[in-house]
Every structure is written in structure tokens, then in C-alpha cells.
Chains A and B, each alone.
Chain A
Amino acid sequence: SAVISQKPSRDICQRGTSLTIQCQVDSQVTMMFWYRQQPGQSLTLIATANQGSEATYESGFVIDKFPISRPNLTFSTLTVSNMSPEDSSIYLCSVEAGGGYEQYFGPGTRLTVT
């Protein structure tokens, strides 16, 4: 398994601004993932981040809106750019660990855009 921390745990932001969310893992991992969890909806994968390469985005998510950095094997950031109220959600990072495809999740960042 893996222990994952995220910063900030929550934030309230004005529309049109950007927020960068940090994800730190207690061990080196190859694959890191960013998800969005909206009220009443399923967890939805935003992108997969490999160290040393560009992130791979899922359909409906673009790099200009959600730029991701992955500078080393224990850290990643997700930026939510030019925010609107529709971006209000919980953002979660996860890592694959344990050898059986299972992913372990951070505590999440609750974002409210006003």
C-alpha cells in the first residue's frame, strides 16, 4: 500500500483564478492519477501522470484547463485553471501500488468556486 497526502485539504476560490493541488506519496511510484468526484456522481479519471513524460488526459479533460506536473516519483501537482463554479468538486490523487492494479487514494481536496 501507500500513504498519500494532499494540499490543500479544502479551498474557496473566486471564478477566473487558478488553484494548484499537491499530492505527495511516501514511496516511489510509477503511476499517479488524478480524479474528480462531483456530488452524486462517480469518481472520474482526469489524467494519468507518469514521471518524465507528459500526462495522458481522458476524454473531456484538456491540458490547458488541468495542467499536471510530475517532477519525480513521489510528487505531482494538478492545477485547475480559470475556474468556474462548475469546477466545484473534490479532487483526488491516487497511485497504483501493491502489484495487483489496485489504486490507493489521498484524502482529497474539496474545492468551492464562487
Chain B
Amino acid sequence: EDQVTQSPEALRLQEGESSSLNCSYTVSGLRGLFWYRQDPGKGPEFLFTLYSAGEEKEKERLKATLTKKESFLHITAPKPEDSATYLCAVLGGGGSNYKLTFGKGTLLTVNP
């Protein structure tokens, strides 16, 4: 069974203080690793898909990287508007063809 563990559960940063969120996973035949952002009272917003170890994707202050066991979401010089819960999910090659397995998320708070 696919598993995803995110750490830390919560992270509080000062504006401009760079940091990283971790997503560790076990999966049978990785077909994709996904990062989402979720604001309170809203559905998850798609950020990135990573397909293979060594791949990197960037969007504004966010950069996602992937190894064979984990993914990192690096946040450079964050702003208060980056405050949200960040979710990681994997799609494996076994079982249901379209089942995303999610972690519990990291709640990021960026203080001005």
C-alpha cells in the first residue's frame, strides 16, 4: 500500500525566511508525485507534478525536487500570502489506476 508522510506538521516562518517542507513516500512504481496548496475553506490547488528522481519544478518562490524516497518543497523568501497547508500526494503503478494517496499536509504560517 502506498504511503506518504509529510513533515513538519506545522511550520512558522518570518517573512523572507527560507525553508523546506518534506514529503517521504513509499510506492509501488511511482507514476507521479504531486504538490498542492490548500487555503482554509477551499479545495486543493495544483502546484507541481514530478515524475522521476532528479526532476525539479519551480513556480515563483516555490521549488519542488524529487529523489527516490522523498520530495522537498523549498520556499524562498516567503511572503505572508504563502501561508497555507501544503499537501503532497503520490500516484503508484499498482492497484487503482487513478488513486492519489495524500499526506496529512504541512501548515505553513508566514508572519510579516
Binding site for B on A (CB under 8 A): 1, 4, 31, 33, 40-45, 48, 56, 58, 92, 94, 96, 98, 100-108, 110
Contacts and interface: CB of A to CB of B under 8 A. Distances in A.
Interface string B24-53: 000000011010100001111110010100
Most buried by B among A40, A103, A104: A103
Contacts of B89: 43
Most buried by A among B31, B41, B100: B100
Contacts, number: 63
A92 B87 CA distance: 15
Interface string B57-101: 000000000000000000000000000000101010000101111
A77 to B, nearest CB: 17
A41 B91 contact: no
Given A101-B31, A101-B49, A108 B42 contact: yes
Interface of B: 4, 31-32, 34, 36, 41-46, 49, 51, 87, 89, 91, 96, 98-105
12 contacts: A4-B43, A42-B102, A42-B104, A45-B99, A45-B100, A58-B99, A101-B32, A101-B98, A103-B34, A103-B98, A104-B46, A106-B43
B85 to A, nearest CB: 11
Given A42-B4, A43-B87, A103 B43 contact: no
A99 to B, nearest CB: 10
Given A40-B104, A101-B31, A58 B46 contact: no
Nearest to B89: A43
A101 to B, nearest CB: 5
B4 A101 contact: no
A105 B43 contact: yes
